[in-house]
Amino acid sequence: AFPEGALVARLGGDEFAILVTEAALNGAPTSFLSSLPTGTEIRSEDGKSLIEVSTSSGFAAFPDDAPTLGDLMKAADLALYAVKNAGRNGVGAYRRDMTRALERRHWELQGVRNAIEAGQLVPYYQPLICARTGRVEAVEALARWHHPTYGVLGPDRFRHALDDARVSTEITAAMLEQVARDLRVWRNIGHGFSAGLNIGEADLKDPDLTGRITDMLARSGLHPDALAIEVTETAVTAVNTAAAGSLLKRYRDAGGVVALDDFGTGNSSITLLKSIPYSAVKIDRSFIRDLTHNETDLAIVRSIVRLARDMGFKIVAEGIETPDQVRLLRKLRVDLLQGFLF
């Protein structure tokens, strides 16, 4: 039950506001917050199934958090957003740093959108070197923002944009278009290597992803084998393993390449090798960094290579920084090498 005198109003959809005075709370807002519902289960009318209902709440106080009613609503909404962003089903109080975080997020989202329109978001290519011949066999496209004021920015400087479903798909579309164009130019001058492009969680939710990629490649006169889709375990499991597997299988069936990125860092890497139609696995840099003097890392990499080879996957080692790593990985029969050394 709400405190006496509380005003409850529906803001729209499934959002409600509760306005309650400090006097009604008896100086104990924590007790009130802990009494708010966070989730429940409702049985369907036929009684055969349960429907899970989650509840997220944000709290702000006047005048400590905001000087006006309008600002108070904004502060409570920021607190609500933080709860949802942390996984939903909870209650959170407003903090002043939330305003700064929101401003930064807005700056990033709008800035990246403007950068896409202005052609400032461009692919930087890192080569994948054949361990046997030392030649460039493929490249990975890495998004970089050519900011007019701050120079070249890496993805850590526009992380909020990558985490936003709508903007991240816009980034993928822009990168795909430029990568296809660059591949066409390289093919025209005799370079036949392929390119890899990272695909995020939001992209994997798009059932038309395979069609969009193959159409874009076809317009550039390219076969799907020219582009490898790179996905992390985190992205696959966040969507739905079965749905992601079906989508990626369609790309494989069309002749495309699918690579599991950052292999070994998740909780279900081995399981995903069975359920997702991969063409290649990329061993995460965390296992390569100390490879030459850490027996545990060496044993892990040796096991991954043996497993991947038995399953018919191409093997890529990420994060190569020293010639000693190269020599050892060649002995282990890794196919491709990638890192700042090259």
Final residue of a structural domain among 94, 129, 153: 94
Q: Residue type at 49?
A: S
Averaged confidence pLDDT in the chain:
88
Domain end (from 34, 65, 94): 94
In a domain, 43, yes or no: yes
User: How many residues are listed for the chain in this entry?
Assistant: 342
Range of weakest confidence among 81-85, 118-122, 178-182, 233-237? 81-85
| The pLDDT of residue 50 | 62
Residue 174 pLDDT more than 70? yes
One domain, residues 81 and 116 = no
d(CA 44, CA 261): 41
303-329 pLDDT, tens digit per residue, is: 999 999 999 999 999 999 999 999 999
Does residue 294 have a pLDDT over 70? yes
How high is the pLDDT of residue 296? 96
Residues 81 and 166 in one domain: no
In a domain, 285, yes or no: yes
What are the structure tokens assigned to 83, written together?
């709860």
- Residue 39 sits at φ, ψ, to 5 deg, of 170, 155
Q: What is the pLDDT of residue 288?
A: 96
Provide mean pLDDT across the span 234-251.
88
Residue 108 predicted with pLDDT over 80? yes
Domain boundary among 38, 73, 94: 94
Q: What is the CATH number of the domain that holds 198?
A: 3.20.20.450
Q: pLDDT over 90 for what percent of the chain?
A: 55
- The whole-number pLDDT of residue 131 equals 96
Does residue 172 sit in the same domain as residue 237? yes
Per-residue pLDDT at 71 exceeds 90: no
* Contact between residue 284 and residue 233 where contact means Cβ atoms under 8 Å apart: no
Q: Which parts of the chain are beta strand (E)? A: 7-12, 15-19, 39-43, 50-54, 57-59, 91-93, 121-130, 136-147, 151-153, 194-198, 227-232, 257-263, 280-283, 314-317, 336-338
Domain identity same for 30 and 116:
no
What's the domain range around 21? 7-94
